C-alpha cells in the first residue's frame, strides 16, 4: 500500500510540473524501502502543491490604453478619455507583443521552467499577468525590480418578461428608436457571466429582420465541440470562455462546467436575455404561457465572455482576462452580474485593486459598465460594487405578485404561493399526508418532503391531494418544489400542498411554476391550522395507522399575477450602503448603490443544462431574483441611451440614468424597502439613498435628461488621489499616472450624487452640469433632513446648448445625531426638464 501511495505522489509531482532536480530526487527515493522515507515524500509533495495559487501581478510600464510613446521602435497607443481602442493598428499589435515578451522574460529570469504556469498576460487595460505559483515564489516576485503589485487571486460569485411594460419601454422608449425592431440596433453588450444557450429563441437571428454584419466588433466565436457549430449567429456576435485560472487551481471540471461558452448554469442566458433578448418570445413552462419576454434593447447584439461556472463561481484573474478581451473586441456596454466573495483585502482601498483598475481602463476606452450591487441586504455595508466609474445596481420588486390559496373542508382559506392551475371547480379532494402513505414506515423523517415517489403508496395517493412537509433540504437545494410535483404526478395525485411548519427567520419563498395544482403554505401559523384540521379529520387505530382520511380541500388558480401599486419596492436581499472606502469598513464620500432596477422574480431565458435553480432544471425559462437580474436591466437601458447619443461618455450615460430616476412608487408614495423587524420578520420602511441610490430607473426620461454631470479618466484619478489612505505610488502602480490633479476632497468628484460621510461645521461641494438640449433656464432648489442645513448657489442659471456651468452646495451641521441625513438638489428647467441628485451627510462635532 505504501508503494502505491508513493507512486501516486511522484506522478502528481511530474504532472504538476515541478523542477527536474526534485523529480530526480524523488525517483531515487522511490527506490528506497525505508518506511519513513515514504512518509517524507508524501508530505513533501503535499507541501509544494497544496499551497500553489494564482496571483495577479502588475509591472512597470504602461498598458496599451495609456502608452504615450518613449520606447524605441514602439509608437504611442494611448487613447483619450472615452475613446475606443483601435486594436487592429500595427502599433497596438507590436506594443502588445512587446509587453507579453517582457512578462515572459521576467518569469524566466526568476524561476526555473515548469515551476510555475503563466495563466494570462494582461496588456490592453493593465500591464501585468496572472501566474500559478507557490507563495514563496510570489514573495520573490514581489521583491523583484519592476514589479508593482502581487495580489493573490480571489473568487467571485453570481449575484443572482413583464419588466419592459413596467418600465414603459414599448410605448415610451422603443418608438423613439424606430420601434422594438430597432431598439438597441448595432450596440454590442458584453456579458461576463456563465455563458449562453445559443439555441434559445431569445437569441435567434430573425428571418424577417436578419442582422447585418458588424465589422467594428472584432470578437471571436468559439466552435461547439459537440455540434461543431459556431456559437455565433448574428444576434450573438462573440462567444469565448475563460477558465485558465480555474483549471490550474484544480476547480474546473470540463464535463460539468463545459470548456466552451455553453451555459451550464442558466445564469448567463438569463442576464443576456434581460438586457438584449429578442422581443415577444412566449414564456412557456409546464405547458402554460406566462406572457411574452423581451430584453430592454431587443435589437442589441450579444457578446459572451464566460468566466463563471456551476460549482465554484469564478476567479478574478479569469474575469479580468474576460474584461480585457471584451474591451479589445469593441463592446459598447459591459454587464457584470458578478461580485467578489469578500473585499480583496490585499489592497488598502476598495477602489484600487486589479478588478476595479481594469474596469477603470474599460471606462477610459468608452465602455459603460453596469455591475450588480450585491445580495447581502437588508444589512448595511453589504455592497460588493464600490467604484465611481461603475454603475452599481440595486434590485427592486416590481408590481407583479403571484398568489394562490388552499380552501379546506371546514371553510378556512389559507394563503400561499404556487404558479399552478386550480383543481376542478366546486370539488373538494381528500388530503393524504406523505407520512401516512409510506410503503415502509421506517423512514418517516426523510420522506415527508415528497422527493421520492418510490417510497409512497400509489394506491393511497391516486386521485387525492398529497400533503408534504417543507424540510431543510429545500433551503440547501437538495429538494425542490418541482420534484414534489413530479412525485405527486407519478403517484396519480390531483395536486399537492407543501406546508412550512417552521423556517429560519428571514427565509425567502418564491413562487414556482408547476404543471399541476400545487401550493406552498409559507406562513407557519397557517400550516399549523392545516395540520390541525388534517389531524382532527383523520381517524387512526391504536398504533397510529390511518383508518380513514376525511380531510378535504381544493387548490386555487395561481397562474395569473396580481398587479400592485406599491411598486417599485427595494428587495429584501438587495445590498445596502453606505459605501466603504477600505477594509476596515470606513464610510466613503461616495454614494452607492447608484440606481434601482427590477431584480425580483424576473422571467427570462434559461439553459436546459442549467442547474443553478433546482425548480427549473430542463426548462427554457426561469423566474429568479437577485441584483444579477437588476444589472442587465440597466445595461440594456444604457444601450438605448447609447444608441440615441452615440458620442456620450460612460459618465454621461450614467448621469442621464441617475438624474431622471423616481423616488416615488406607482401610487405616488415614497418608495419602500423590505426590511427585517426586531423579530426578524419582514416589514416595510421608507427607503433611503443607501437602499436605492438616486432612485428607480426611468428609461423614457433618461433619453432626454436635459443636463448631465460628466466625468472622465483624469477626474477618477483625481478622486483616487484625494482618497485618504492612498499614496501616489500605489495609485501610479495601477493607473500609470502621477497625482498631478486633485479634487481637494473625494466628494468633489463630478458625480450625480453628493455624499459627505464626515461633515464638520460647514462644507461646500462643487458640481458642473452640461446642457445636452436646447437653451434652458434652471431654478435650483434643495432640501435636507433637519440635522443638516443645505444651501445652493446660484439659485438659477441659463445654459446654451453644449454649455457647462458650475454650482455649489453648502452643507452645515445643525445638530449631531449619529445618523445620516438625506436630502436632494433639484434643478428644474423652464422647458420641462427635472434633474435631481441625492445628498447624504453625517454631522460631527470635529
Catalytic residues: 193, 267, 628
Rounded to whole angstroms, the Cα distance separating 696 from 224 reads 40
Dihedral, CA atoms, 826, 831, 833, 834, nearest 10 degrees?
20
Rounded to whole angstroms, the Cα distance separating 756 from 550 reads 66
Rounded to whole angstroms, the Cα distance separating 840 from 546 reads 64
Q: Please, which residues have CB within 8 angstroms of residue 351's CB and are 6 or more apart in sequence?
A: 386, 387, 388, 581, 719, 720, 723
Rounded to whole angstroms, the Cα distance separating 159 from 730 reads 30
Instruction: State how beta strands 546-548 and 539-540 pair.
Output: antiparallel
- CB-facing half-sphere around the CA of 252: CA atoms within 13 A: 19
Helical (H) or strand (E) element with 468: strand 465-469
Q: Please, which residues have CB within 8 angstroms of residue 538's CB and are 6 or more apart in sequence?
A: 436, 546, 548, 549, 550, 551
Rounded alpha-carbon distances, angstroms, from residue 235 to 204, 335, 402, 751:
6, 17, 33, 34
Rounded to whole angstroms, the Cα distance separating 164 from 704 reads 19
Sign of CA dihedral 622, 624, 627, 633: positive
Using H for helix, E for strand and C for coil, what is the string for 718-734?
Answer: HHHHCCCCCCHHHHHHH
Instruction: State how beta strands 754-760 and 834-844 pair.
Output: parallel
Interior CA angle at 355 toward 596 and 90, to 5°? 115
- What nine digits make up the cell of 259? 470548456
> What end-to-end distance do the CA atoms of the chain give, in Å?
71
Contact assessment for residue 158 and residue 336, using Cβ atoms and an 8 Å cutoff: no
Contact assessment for residue 812 and residue 789, using Cβ atoms and an 8 Å cutoff: yes
- What nine digits make up the cell of 116? 510555475
Using H for helix, E for strand and C for coil, what is the string for 371-387?
Answer: EECCCCCCCCCCCCCCC
- What nine digits make up the cell of 247? 483549471
SS3 402: coil
519 phi, psi to nearest 5 deg: -150, 145
Dihedral, CA atoms, 703, 708, 714, 716, nearest 10 degrees?
-80
Rounded to whole angstroms, the Cα distance separating 187 from 196 reads 18
Rounded to whole angstroms, the Cα distance separating 826 from 834 reads 7
Using H for helix, E for strand and C for coil, what is the string for 481-512?
Answer: HHHHHHHHHHCCCCEEEEECCCCCCCCCCCCC
Beta strands across the sheet bearing 796-799:
754-760, 834-844, 821-829, 776-784, 796-799
DSSP state of 140: H
Q: Please, which residues have CB within 8 angstroms of residue 249's CB and are 6 or more apart in sequence?
A: 53, 54, 132, 153, 315
Long-range contacts from 402-405, C-beta under 8 angstroms, 24+ separation: 402/511, 402/558, 402/561, 402/562, 402/601, 403/511, 403/558, 403/562, 404/511, 404/519, 404/555, 404/556, 404/557, 404/558, 405/519, 405/555, 405/556
Contact assessment for residue 455 and residue 445, using Cβ atoms and an 8 Å cutoff: no
* Cis, bond preceding 469 (omega within 30 deg of 0): no
Q: Return the axis-axis angle of helices 354-364 and 713-721, rounded to nearest 10°.
A: 150
Amino acid at each position: 500500500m505504501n508503494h502505491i501511495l508513493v507512486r501516486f505522489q511522484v506522478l502528481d509531482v511530474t504532472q504538476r510540473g515541478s523542477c527536474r532536480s526534485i523529480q530526480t530526487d524523488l525517483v531515487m527515493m522511490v527506490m528506497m524501502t525505508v518506511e519513513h522515507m515514504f512518509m517524507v515524500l508524501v508530505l513533501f509533495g503535499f507541501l509544494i502543491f497544496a499551497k500553489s495559487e494564482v496571483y495577479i501581478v502588475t509591472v512597470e510600464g504602461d498598458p496599451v490604453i495609456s502608452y504615450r510613446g518613449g520606447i524605441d521602435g514602439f509608437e504611442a497607443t494611448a487613447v483619450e478619455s472615452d475613446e475606443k481602442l483601435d486594436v487592429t493598428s500595427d502599433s497596438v499589435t507590436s506594443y502588445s507583443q512587446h509587453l507579453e515578451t517582457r512578462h515572459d522574460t521576467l518569469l524566466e529570469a526568476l524561476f526555473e521552467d515548469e515551476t510555475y504556469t503563466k495563466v494570462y498576460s494582461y496588456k490592453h487595460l493593465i500591464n501585468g499577468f496572472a501566474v500559478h505559483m507557490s507563495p514563496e515564489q510570489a514573495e520573490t516576485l514581489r521583491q523583484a525590480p519592476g514589479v508593482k503589485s502581487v495580489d493573490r487571486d480571489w473568487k467571485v460569485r453570481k449575484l443572482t418578461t413583464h419588466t419592459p411594460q413596467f418600465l414603459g419601454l414599448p410605448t415610451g422608449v422603443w418608438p423613439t428608436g424606430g420601434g422594438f425592431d430597432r431598439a438597441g440596433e448595432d450596440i454590442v453588450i458584453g456579458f461576463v457571466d456563465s455563458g449562453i444557450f445559443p439555441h434559445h429563441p431569445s437569441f435567434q437571428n430573425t428571418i424577417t429582420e436578419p442582422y447585418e454584419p458588424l465589422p467594428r466588433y472584432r470578437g471571436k466565436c468559439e466552435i461547439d465541440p459537440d455540434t461543431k457549430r459556431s456559437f455565433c449567429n448574428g444576434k450573438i456576435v462573440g462567444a469565448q470562455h475563460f477558465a485558465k485560472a480555474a483549471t490550474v487551481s484544480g476547480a474546473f471540471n470540463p464535463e460539468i462546467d463545459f470548456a466552451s461558452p455553453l451555459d451550464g448554469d442558466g445564469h448567463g442566458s438569463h442576464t443576456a436575455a434581460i438586457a438584449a433578448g429578442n422581443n415577444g418570445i412566449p414564456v412557456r413552462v409546464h405547458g402554460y404561457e406566462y406572457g411574452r419576454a423581451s430584453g430592454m434593447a431587443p435589437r442589441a447584439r450579444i457578446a459572451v465572455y464566460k468566466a463563471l461556472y456551476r460549482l465554484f463561481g469564478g476567479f478574478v484573474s479569469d474575469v479580468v482576462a474576460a474584461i480585457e478581451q471584451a474591451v479589445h473586441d469593441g463592446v459598447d456596454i459591459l454587464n457584470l452580474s458578478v461580485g467578489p466573495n469578500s473585499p480583496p483585502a490585499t489592497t488598502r482601498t476598495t477602489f484600487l485593486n486589479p478588478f476595479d483598475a481594469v474596469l477603470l481602463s474599460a471606462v477610459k476606452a468608452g465602455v459603460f459598465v453596469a455591475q450588480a450591487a450585491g445580495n447581502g441586504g437588508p444589512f448595511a455595508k453589504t455592497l460588493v460594487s464600490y467604484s465611481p466609474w461603475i454603475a452599481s445596481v440595486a434590485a427592486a420588486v416590481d408590481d407583479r405578485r403571484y398568489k394562490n390559496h388552499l380552501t379546506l373542508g371546514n371553510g378556512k382559506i389559507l394563503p400561499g404561493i404556487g404558479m399552478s392551475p386550480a383543481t376542478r371547480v366546486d370539488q373538494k379532494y381528500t388530503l393524504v399526508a406523505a407520512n401516512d402513505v409510506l410503503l415502509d414506515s421506517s423512514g418517516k423523517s426523510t420522506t415527508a418532503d415528497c422527493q421520492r415517489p418510490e417510497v409512497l403508496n400509489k394506491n393511497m395517493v391516486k386521485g387525492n391531494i398529497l400533503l408534504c412537509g417543507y424540510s431543510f433540504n429545500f433551503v440547501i437545494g437538495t429538494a425542490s418544489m418541482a420534484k414534489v410535483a413530479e412525485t405527486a404526478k407519478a403517484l396519480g395525485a390531483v395536486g399537492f400542498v407543501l406546508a412550512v411548519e417552521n423556517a429560519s427567520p428571514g427565509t425567502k419563498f418564491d413562487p414556482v411554476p408547476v404543471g399541476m395544482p400545487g401550493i406552498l403554505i409559507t406562513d407557519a401559523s397557517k400550516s399549523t391550522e392545516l395540520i390541525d384540521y388534517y389531524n382532527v379529520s383523520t381517524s387512526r387505530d391504536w398504533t397510529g395507522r390511518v383508518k380513514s382520511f376525511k380531510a378535504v380541500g381544493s387548490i386555487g388558480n395561481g397562474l395569473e399575477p396580481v398587479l400592485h401599486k406599491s411598486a417599485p419596492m427595494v428587495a429584501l436581499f438587495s445590498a445596502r450602503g453606505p459605501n466603504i472606502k477600505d477594509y476596515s469598513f470606513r464610510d466613503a464620500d461616495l454614494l452607492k448603490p447608484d440606481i434601482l432596477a427590477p431584480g425580483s422574480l424576473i422571467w427570462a431565458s434559461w439553459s436546459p443544462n442549467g442547474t443553478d435553480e433546482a425548480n427549473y432544471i430542463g426548462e427554457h425559462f426561469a423566474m429568479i431574483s437577485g441584483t444579477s437580474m437588476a444589472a442587465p436591466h440597466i445595461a440594456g437601458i444604457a444601450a438605448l441611451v447609447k444608441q440615441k447619443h452615440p458620442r456620450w461618455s460612460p459618465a454621461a450615460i450614467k448621469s442621464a440614468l441617475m438624474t431622471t430616476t423616481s423616488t416615488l412608487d406607482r401610487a405616488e408614495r415614497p418608495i419602500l424597502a423590505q426590511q427585517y423587524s426586531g423579530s426578524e420578520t419582514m416589514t416595510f420602511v421608507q427607503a433611503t439613498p443607501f437602499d436605492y441610490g438616486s432612485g428607480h430607473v426611468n428609461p423614457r426620461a433618461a433619453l432626454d435628461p436635459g443636463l448631465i454631470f460628466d466625468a472622465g479618466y483624469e477626474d477618477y484619478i483625481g478622486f483616487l488621489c484625494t482618497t485618504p489612505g492612498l499614496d501616489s505610488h500605489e495609485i501610479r502602480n495601477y493607473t500609470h499616472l502621477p497625482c498631478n490633479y486633485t479634487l481637494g476632497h473625494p466628494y468633489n468628484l463630478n458625480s450625480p450624487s453628493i455624499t459627505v460621510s464626515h461633515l464638520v461645521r460647514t462644507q461646500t461641494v462643487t458640481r458642473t452640469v452640461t446642457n445636452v438640449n436646447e437653451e434652458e433656464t434652471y431654478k435650483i432648489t434643495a432640501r435636507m433632513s433637519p440635522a443638516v442645513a443645505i444651501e445652493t448657489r446660484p439659485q438659477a442659471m441659463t445654459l446654451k446648448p453644449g454649455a457647462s456651468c458650475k454650482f455649489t452646495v453648502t452643507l452645515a451641521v445643525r445638530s449631531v445625531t449619529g445618523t445620516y441625513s438625506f436630502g436632494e438638489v433639484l434643478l428644474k428647467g423652464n422647458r420641462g426638464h427635472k434633474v435631481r441628485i441625492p445628498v447624504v451627510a453625517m454631522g460631527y462635532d470635529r
